[in-house]
Structure 1
């Protein structure tokens, strides 16, 4: 191909301008990449901070922020990958010595494996030879998604008639969950889990089934959900009875928006949770979670829920619980709530006194980390030996420090809160089955 010599100053100027323009575009793209990387780093740092603080009294709000940041990260990282793909740039290899870079995890064990074998040609493309030596195979493993499938199960109940007396005998067909609609138990279980655990609305489930060529309307699924709820009622009663029969539970409550029929608006209801989990001290009793709904937060509701319960109850400082404590129920307060109040002080401004309080509380949690999973008797012995003196020293330090502080400050409020609940905060020291905080109940609220 012949090239035309650049014999004019105008052409040289145009070429220089083009080079300068491309350089400017490249610089702008590099700046944009750098900006996105800094945003990703910032969002990751914020996520780590929120996850660290997730067990405080405002964990519901923090959960929502975490979801928002996760979505922002998804959009930014997907956009960056799309830009790399469009520009035909392969991503830079990650260095093994970069601790902040997420490492690629190995494929999980136990998954079904399908092998696709691509045979080598029988003739050499270079010389046409047909005699070969075996070389090492190139193996690439990828994880693939198998689309969901729905099948029809035909239940055939064989019948016969006795020749001697005309009695009809037949096999025994299992009772179907919903006779009229003909959905199988697996389909109903999938719909219930998708709606209540994965939070997928029924109209979206209807669209997902539509992509499989199956027409199940939202109203039909809503009818199934209602009927399954009735079928599950005996199981719910058994779970609640199991919770009432144990002697250690965690409780919490959270506001929920519910429809207010006739007004076209929503109103705020309340969900209460009661949890038994003895895995922290090797209790073989099955773990269980019971949820209750109420239209408001009156103390009469937990009193009704716990009418048959007797034992230790981990809870926050909600005033409605006070009438429950006495002969039947022993209060165990939450050290995480105390810790959160000192954290709130540091959020406003640096405070060496609040830092000291957090350090002392942190020493208590260090002990809990070391004894988690031990039998209850061992936990009790180690707590009495190591955590008891730290807790007593913390109380003395707070009592000595509090009078020296302005009483209207948040720091003084945090100390008064701790002292007002000190007996309940100390229950866990002398009972290896009691936890230091109420995080078990707060974790049970997260799916909501």
Structure 2
């Protein structure tokens, strides 16, 4: 074996130093690009909110230019890092563009899934360990984050080389990182505890997990889609022929863009005949409208033909004209 001369060693060290300097420069360039992308994204979001309230041709041109600059910077950043886009999925179900790993400080529970049978399903031969697929899911347990790591072992047949693996478990949101407990917590905090999503994002950030407001909003929208069959069943149950209590209440609604509120209406329909000896479960169905026009309750009760108990609001009066719905005075 030939001896390496001191000149070769010096040359190698020099090239190594050059490569390290190049890597440092590229990392600095990448960091600057990411900061510029975040800055442009924040400005673009602000302009979109302004454009929603009062449309302006000048604002529209600025939005188009910033979107073009943002796309260019994102492509350059992807080229430097080697990132590729995820397959196209519905926007509410799509996760963030670059998914950060979960903090190592979070405790982890590992669930190891084995093939259903200890032998090959094709030929009946014995299986040997081949490898495994690992996926992590963020879960909330007792107000503490925990990463649920699911490991699906791969086994190979020793006779025919067939590969056997347990199927991946389903998730509440396809390809989502949130477990059912975390989604339930977000919905409960928003609708039962009246905690806005931006405050929830701050709360989770103090626990060491960064969940942006837009990500939480996407989860809420996806959960509402998943719960739509339950809402339809509740609607059908409450409006079944019988006795129905109806009323409306004003609710302040934030107008996007100008930080002002307008008055919307929340229509409440209650089915509860327990005082009359009924053993059927009570239930309530809510419907929202941006105003108090009579067309809203008339549309809600278009298929109802039972007894309606409501106040003297004129929007309910039209329902009594044809005699299909008897009036029970308050």
TM-superposed CA distance for 1:253, in Å, is 0.6
When residues 209 and 164 of structure 1 are mapped into structure 2, their CA distance, relative to the original with a 3 A threshold, is: same
Structure 2 counterparts to residues 337-416 of structure 1, below 5 A: none
Residue 296 of structure 2 is matched in structure 1 by: 301
1:193 matched to 2:204? The reply is no
The DSSP-based 3-state class of the residue aligned with 1:274 is strand
1:290 matched to 2:285? The reply is yes
Moved more, 176-185 or 297-306: 176-185
Structure 2 counterparts to residues 101-250 of structure 1, below 5 A: 148-161=143-156, 169-250=164-245
When residues 238 and 170 of structure 1 are mapped into structure 2, their CA distance, relative to the original with a 3 A threshold, is: farther
When residues 158 and 304 of structure 1 are mapped into structure 2, their CA distance, relative to the original with a 3 A threshold, is: farther
The DSSP-based 3-state class of the residue aligned with 2:298 is helix
TM-superposed CA distance for 1:270, in Å, is 1.1
Residue 315 of structure 1 is matched in structure 2 by: 310
Instruction: Determine the C-alpha separation between the residues in 1 that align with 2:179 and 2:197.
Output: 17
Question: How many aligned residue pairs are there?
Answer: 189
When residues 173 and 248 of structure 1 are mapped into structure 2, their CA distance, relative to the original with a 3 A threshold, is: farther
When residues 179 and 327 of structure 1 are mapped into structure 2, their CA distance, relative to the original with a 3 A threshold, is: same
Could you tell me which runs of 5 or more consecutive residues in structure 2 were left unpaired when the two chains were aligned.
1-140
User: Whose strand fraction is larger, Structure 1's or Structure 2's?
Assistant: 2
Residue 250 of structure 2 is matched in structure 1 by: 255
Higher RCO (C-alpha under 8 Å, 6+ residues apart) = 1
Instruction: Determine the C-alpha separation between the residues in 2 that align with 1:288 and 1:206.
Output: 32
When residues 257 and 282 of structure 1 are mapped into structure 2, their CA distance, relative to the original with a 3 A threshold, is: same
Query: What TM-score do the two structures reach when normalised by structure 1?
Result: 0.39
1:328 matched to 2:324? The reply is yes
Residue 272 of structure 2 is matched in structure 1 by: 277
What is the root-mean-square deviation of aligned Cα atoms in Å?
A: 2.5
Instruction: Determine the C-alpha separation between the residues in 2 that align with 1:163 and 1:213.
Output: 46
TM-superposed CA distance for 1:182, in Å, is 0.7
Instruction: Determine the C-alpha separation between the residues in 2 that align with 1:173 and 1:147.
Output: 26
The DSSP-based 3-state class of the residue aligned with 1:150 is strand
TM-superposed CA distance for 1:329, in Å, is 1.5
Could you tell me which runs of 5 or more consecutive residues in structure 1 were left unpaired when the two chains were aligned.
1-145, 335-448
Deviation by residue 1:267-321 (Cα, 9 ceiling, x = unmatched): 2211111111233345332322211111111111111111111211221111110
Residue 393 of structure 1 is matched in structure 2 by: none
Query: What TM-score do the two structures reach when normalised by structure 2?
Result: 0.52
User: Over alpha carbons, which structure has the higher Rg?
Assistant: 1
